[in-house]
Each structure stands twice: as C-alpha cells, then as structure tokens.
C-alpha cells in the first residue's frame, strides 16, 4: 500500500498544475528569444553565451562571486566604480552553484537566472490569479515574458531573482503568510536596492491590517488567519536584508550609515526626483532626429503612469500599488544610466495586470495570436539590442 501524499505536497502539485499554462507559455517565449539571439549573434560573429553571461553587470557579479568585495575601477575622470554597488545574493548563489556543480561562475549565474525567471513567472501568475483570476494570471506571466527587454530575464543579471522574491513575498502578504513574506522581503533586499519597495509594500499592508482590526475593536475576525505578532515580526524581518548590507558597506568604507550612497555616487548614480532624466529627455528635442527618440521616451513615461492609474482604478490591493509605485519612482528618478530604465522597470509587474485582464477577456486563439506576435517582435528586439548597445 502506498502512503498518501502529504497535504503540502498535494497543495504544491495542485498549484503547479494550475500554473502550468503560464509556466509552459513563459518557457516557450524565453526559448524563442534565446534561439533568436543565438541565430542573430552567430550571423553577427558574436557569442550569444558571452552576451548573456560575460558582459556588463554580469561581469561585476562574477567578480564578486569569485573574488569577493573590494574590486574597483578608477576612471580617467576621477569616478570610482566599486563592486560594493552590487548587492550580494546573486553572487552568493553563483558561488554556491559553482561549488556544487562543474559550472563556471558565469554559467552558474545563467542557471540561477533561468530558475529564478521561472519562479518569477509563477509568482506573477500567483499574484494575478489571486487578484484577478486564472486567465488573467496566465496572461500576466506571458505579458511579462514578451516585454521588449524581456531578454534580460535570461541574462546573468539580478532582475529575475529579485522579481521572483518580490512576487512571492507579495503573494504571501496577500494570503496572510506574514513570516514567509518578511523572509522573502529580506532576501529581496539582499538582491537589489529596490528591495525597499517590497519592504514598503509589506509595511503598508501590515499597518492597514492592524488599523482595520483596531477600528473594529477586534470584533471582526481576521480574514488572513494570522496572529498580530506574526505581522509585527514580519515588519521587523523585512528590512534586515537591505539594511544589513547597506550598514555593512558603510562600515567597510568608513562612510557610516550613508556610505552606500557614496559608493553609488562613484557610479554617478543617485536619486534626484527625476531632474536629470527630465533634462536628458528635454535635450532630445534640440534636433529633429533625436526628437523622435525624445517623443518615444515621453510616450513611454506617459504609458507607465497611465498603467499605474489604471491599476488604482481597478482596485489593486494597496500592497501591489505601493510596490509598483516605489519601483517606478526609483527607476524614473535615478540620476544616471538612462538607458537602463526599461530594465529597471522589469520588476514592476503589477503594471502589467491591466493589459493582462484585457487579454484574458478575449477568446484564447485571439489572445494567443496577439501574444505570439509580440513575442516574435520581442525576440527580434532583444537579439538586436544585445548585439548592439545592450543593457549598461
């Protein structure tokens, strides 16, 4: 006689079956993008493998994994690019995978990114499914896959890892799993500076829950079934990752609690409320050819803000609105690396729920045709982009 499966295994199997269309569709889109990149790169005399794992930020993560922190580059203009700017979770995972497999650090980064991208797609599905239903969840995961810069999800970058942690932390918040939400938020904070968005979302959801209970005098049963101490503890755990790394950097550099900002300043990066980005866009309108790019940038910002307003009107939970709002604010208001902004917006997946809902209302063949066409265009753009300027 075989023993019955445990409830946890049964629940996991059921969740996986429910998410299967989203995960299979996501994997197909990413496979299309990688095949297109391989063909394009070969025709251009370049290595797709090197583009994915051996350029730009990927090299910095590999150096951290292999040599630890302390590496820096001094530029002729006096700027100092220190690897302390890169948060540690991805290189830690690269080091672990390298230690237990024959993979190089770079290939370990690709493996981590591949697994994390599937986890991110599943998390996006889970959140959208919880809020808007299964069809919208499937469409949300696929819309995230077909974004023009979706090829970054397959690179040895930290966007996929961060999005996976953020999505599952937010899902845990929405379903009342507060300790898990806090732990995942802390890990997100060890992945990218924008981890503060996950912390802010968790805090807002927890405070809103506390206030709601207090307003009703405790007479209303908690819908999430969580005890107050769990929410309070999750609020304490959530910021530990980001705060711990930032304080460690400050101690290492001698810059105190704000030492990490000095490291970012060496990269000419900071938060100026969008002034530098606004000036960058305005300068595009000084000549006709560049004015087209300027108009495209303005249209992109308007689209992002419009999507956020739609999310508010469609009644997304406060945690999702806070999370997406902070991600967008940090991406658009950073003072440097303007070409990176589309990549920095990749984790803002709640913005994709309005178009996902619209696609979910269509008949399946029609929505599949739309997503398929966009996937082809995205694959071509990703191959062109990485073989050209690529993500800084």
Give the global pTM: 0.94
What pLDDT sits at residue 1? 41
Q: Which pLDDT score, from 0 to 100, does residue 226 have?
A: 65
Q: What residue ranges do the domains of the chain occupy?
A: 19-386
| Tens digit of each residue's pLDDT, the chain (392 residues) | 444 556 767 788 899 999 999 999 999 999 999 999 999 999 999 999 999 998 899 999 999 999 999 999 999 988 899 999 999 999 999 999 999 999 999 999 999 999 999 999 999 999 999 999 999 999 999 999 999 999 999 999 999 999 999 999 999 999 999 999 999 999 999 999 999 999 999 999 999 988 877 776 654 445 455 688 899 999 999 999 999 999 999 999 999 988 999 999 999 888 888 888 899 899 889 887 888 988 999 999 999 999 999 999 999 999 999 999 999 999 999 887 788 899 999 999 999 999 999 999 999 999 999 999 999 999 999 999 999 988 87
Q: Three-state SS string across the chain, please?
A: CCCCCCHHHHHHHHHHHHHHHHHHHHHHHHHHHHHHHHHHHHHCCCCHHHHHHCCCHHHHHHHHHHHCCCCEEECCCCCEEEHHHCCCHHHHHHHHHHHHCCCCHHHHHHHHHHHHHHHHHHHHHHHHHHHHCHHHHHHHHHHHHCCCCHHHHHCCCCHHHHHHHHHHHHHHHHCCCHHHHHHHHHHHHCCCCCHHHHHHHHHHHHHHHHHHHHHCCCCCCCCCCCCHHHHHHHHHHCCHHHHHHHHHHHHHHCCHHHHHHHHHHHCCCCECCCHHHHHHHHHHHHCHHHHHHHHHHHHHHHHHHHHHHHHHHCCCCHHHHHHHHHHHHHHHCECCCHHHHHHHCCCCHHHHHHHHHHHHCCCHHHHHHHHHHHHHHHHHHHHHHHCCCCCC
């Amino acid at each position: 006689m075989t023993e019955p499966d445990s409830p946890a295994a049964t629940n996991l199997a059921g969740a996986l079956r429910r998410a299967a269309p989203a995960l299979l569709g996501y994997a197909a889109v990413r496979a299309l993008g990688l095949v297109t990149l391989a063909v394009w790169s070969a025709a251009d005399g370049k290595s797709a493998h090197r583009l994915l794992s051996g350029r730009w930020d990927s090299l910095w993560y590999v150096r951290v994994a292999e040599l630890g922190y302390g590496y820096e580059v001094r530029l002729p203009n006096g700027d100092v690019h220190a690897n302390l700017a890169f948060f540690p979770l991805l290189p830690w995972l690269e080091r672990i995978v390298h230690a237990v497999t024959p993979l190089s650090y770079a290939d370990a980064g690709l493996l981590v990114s591949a697994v994390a991208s599937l986890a991110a797609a599943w998390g996006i599905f889970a959140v959208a499914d919880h809020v808007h239903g299964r069809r919208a969840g499937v469409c949300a995961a696929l819309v995230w896959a077909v974004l023009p810069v979706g090829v970054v999800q397959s690179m040895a970058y930290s966007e996929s890892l961060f999005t996976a942690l953020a999505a599952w932390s937010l899902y845990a918040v929405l379903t009342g799993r507060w300790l898990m939400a806090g732990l995942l938020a802390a890990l997100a904070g060890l992945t990218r500076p924008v981890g503060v968005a996950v912390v802010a979302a968790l805090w807002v959801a927890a405070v809103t829950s506390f206030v709601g209970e207090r307003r009703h005098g405790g007479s209303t049963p908690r819908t999430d079934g969580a005890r107050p101490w769990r929410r309070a503890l999750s609020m304490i755990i959530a910021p530990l990752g980001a705060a711990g790394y930032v304080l460690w950097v400050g101690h290492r550099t001698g810059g105190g609690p704000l030492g990490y900002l000095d490291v970012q300043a060496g990269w000419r990066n900071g938060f100026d409320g969008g002034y530098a980005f606004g000036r960058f866009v305005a300068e595009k309108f000084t000549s006709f050819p560049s004015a087209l790019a300027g108009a495209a940038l303005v249209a992109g910002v308007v689209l992002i803000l419009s999507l956020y307003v739609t999310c508010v009107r469609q009644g997304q939970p406060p945690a999702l609105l806070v999370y997406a709002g902070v991600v967008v604010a940090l991406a658009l208001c950073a003072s440097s690396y303007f070409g990176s902004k589309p990549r920095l917006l990749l984790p803002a997946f709640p913005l994709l729920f309005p178009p996902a809902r619209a696609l979910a209302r269509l008949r399946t063949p029609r929505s599949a045709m739309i997503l398929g066409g966009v996937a082809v265009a995205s694959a071509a753009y990703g191959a062109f982009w990485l073989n050209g300027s690529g993500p800084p």
